[in-house]
Amino acid sequence: NAGVTQTPKFRVLKTGQSMTLLCAQDMNHEYMYWYRQDPGMGLRLIHYSVGEGTTAKGEVPDGYNVSRLKKQNFLLGLESAAPSQTSVYFCASSSGTFKETQYFGPGTRLLVL
């Protein structure tokens, strides 16, 4: 049972480049989330999805877009990367509502030069 997986594990981008981070879960969870973690700031919610075909903004959505075309996948896109987006990105999923435990992926470390 793989749980939540993230691709890639590490990426270096130049300012202005674009990329997509992929999150996949095999637990048939309805809810999925993207967070970023910066030193000394804890995790902050970027976007989330409450089901296939739905997305919603979190606390820090600017500069990111997301898509949930399939229930098991949640994509996070950066259209024009900026150094301020250097961070570790975590995907998570949960079975029903925010009331239940979220399961986290191993993270993607992104460096924007």
Partner 1 sequence: KQEVTQIPAALSVPEGENLVLNCSFTDSAIYNLQWFRQDPGKGLTSLLLIQSSQREQTSGRLNASLDKSSGRSTLYIAASQPGDSATYLCAVLLLKNGNKLVFGAGTILRVKS
106 strand-pairing partners: none
Is 11 among the residues that bind partner 1 (CB under 8 A)?
A: no
Find the shortest distance in angstroms from Cβ 15 to partner 1: 25
**Rounded CA separation 40/53 (Å):** 34
**Residue 36 three-state SS:** strand
DSSP state of 72: T
Find the shortest distance in angstroms from Cβ 39 to partner 1: 9
Find the shortest distance in angstroms from Cβ 42 to partner 1: 4
φ, ψ of residue 7 to 5 degrees: the values are: -135, 135
Considering only residues 63 to 102 of the shown chain, the ones binding partner 1 according to CB under 8 A are: 90, 92, 97-99, 101-102
What would the x/- binding string for partner 1 be over residues 35 to 54, using CB under 8 A? -----xxxxxx--x------
